[in-house]
């Protein structure tokens, strides 16, 4: 009982309302009287057009092949959801992956629910269905949220209720769309995680963001390491090219702490890839310079 309740809650209030037959289905038949909305029937695949609001733009080929093999052996277990567009013409609401695999398996017909839905409902249903079952990557989720806000004129608080996500989570996703294309592609292709991307968003300029991306990919940095890189003064220095950026190893950080404790002055390290570098000791005046020199001599 608790699992069922959890799944229903995860779908979000908006989708639950849409899937309530009393809210979405009407006593509607084709002229032929053959199909009734709200029920499962067999529909020819050539009568179904893609969902223009489909948030998923990339499908894993190996997973698609596995699903195709499963459909060839067992058929489609979970029907597609479609809406009627005209006589013998339908538009996919959810289940594009199943439809693609069915076509690859050579099926001429697929089982489908026929529902009534407007464009806002189309996008909402496609988004939530995919989030719950197909693990959209963060960029695809961000694009979908943005389309709901801009194209369907939904406020963030309304969107939060519809998809079961708090406003801060939605904002974090949408902020990904402000990142340079190279970083968005890295998120899309799972080269970096949502956590990495959120850390990079905190960097002010695009040049530095791209440098941080390069260091993540080169050194396979964890999210925590990236956050430290961005937060700590002296951890990242951009002086013209990515090759001049260095992430200080822990021993340098320890040395910096020791020197700061002894000299009571700001210490900065610059280290290149070959291990060569410099130590910069800041001073505020002639007297402060003399103080530091005396401590070094002692």
Nearest to 235 by CA among 221, 224, 246, 225: 246
Measured in whole angstroms, the distance separating CA 122 from the mean position of its chain's CA atoms is 20
Helices 223-231 & 194-201, crossing angle to 10 degrees? 10
User: Which one of the listed residues 49, 88, 96, 150 is annotated catalytic?
Assistant: 96
Spatial contact of 47 and 89, defined as CB atoms under 8 Å apart: yes
DSSP label at residue 249: P
What are residue 271's phi and psi, to 5 degrees? -130, 130
What are residue 254's phi and psi, to 5 degrees? -65, -45
Distance separating alpha carbons of residues 120 and 122, to the nearest angstrom? 5
Nearest to 227 by CA among 247, 200, 254, 252: 200
Distance separating alpha carbons of residues 107 and 86, to the nearest angstrom? 23
User: Is position 96 annotated as part of the catalytic site?
Assistant: yes
Specify the pairing of strand 40-44 against strand 80-86. Answer: unpaired
**Residues labelled catalytic:** 96
């Amino acid at each position: 009982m608790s699992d069922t309740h959890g799944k229903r809650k995860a779908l979000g209030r908006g989708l639950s309302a849409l899937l309530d037959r009393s809210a979405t289905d009407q006593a509607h038949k084709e002229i032929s009287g053959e199909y009734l909305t709200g029920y499962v029937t067999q529909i020819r695949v050539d009568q179904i057009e893609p969902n223009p609001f489909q948030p998923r733009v990339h499908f894993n080929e190996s997973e698609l092949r596995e699903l195709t093999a499963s459909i060839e052996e067992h058929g489609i277990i979970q029907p597609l959801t479609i809406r009627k567009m005209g006589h013998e013409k339908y538009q996919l609401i959810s289940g594009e992956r199943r439809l693609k695999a069915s076509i690859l398996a050579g099926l001429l017909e697929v089982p489908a629910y026929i529902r009534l839905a407007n464009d806002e409902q189309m996008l909402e249903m496609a988004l939530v269905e995919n989030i719950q079952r197909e693990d959209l990557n963060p960029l695809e989720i961000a694009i979908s949220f943005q389309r709901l806000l801009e194209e369907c004129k939904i406020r963030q608080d309304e969107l939060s209720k519809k998809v079961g996500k708090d406003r801060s989570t939605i904002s974090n996703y949408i902020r990904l769309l402000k990142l340079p294309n190279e970083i968005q592609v890295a998120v899309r292709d799972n080269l970096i995680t949502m956590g990495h991307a959120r850390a990079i968003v905190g960097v002010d300029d695009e040049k530095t963001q791209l440098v941080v991306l390069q260091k993540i990919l080169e050194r396979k940095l964890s999210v925590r390491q990236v956050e430290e890189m961005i937060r700590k003064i002296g951890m990242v220095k951009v002086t013209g090219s990515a090759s001049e950026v260095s992430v200080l190893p822990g021993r340098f950080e320890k040395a910096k702490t020791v020197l700061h404790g002894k000299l009571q002055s700001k210490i900065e390290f610059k280290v290149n890839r070959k291990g060569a570098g410099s130590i910069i000791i800041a001073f505020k005046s002639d007297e402060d310079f003399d103080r530091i020199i005396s401590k070094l001599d002692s």
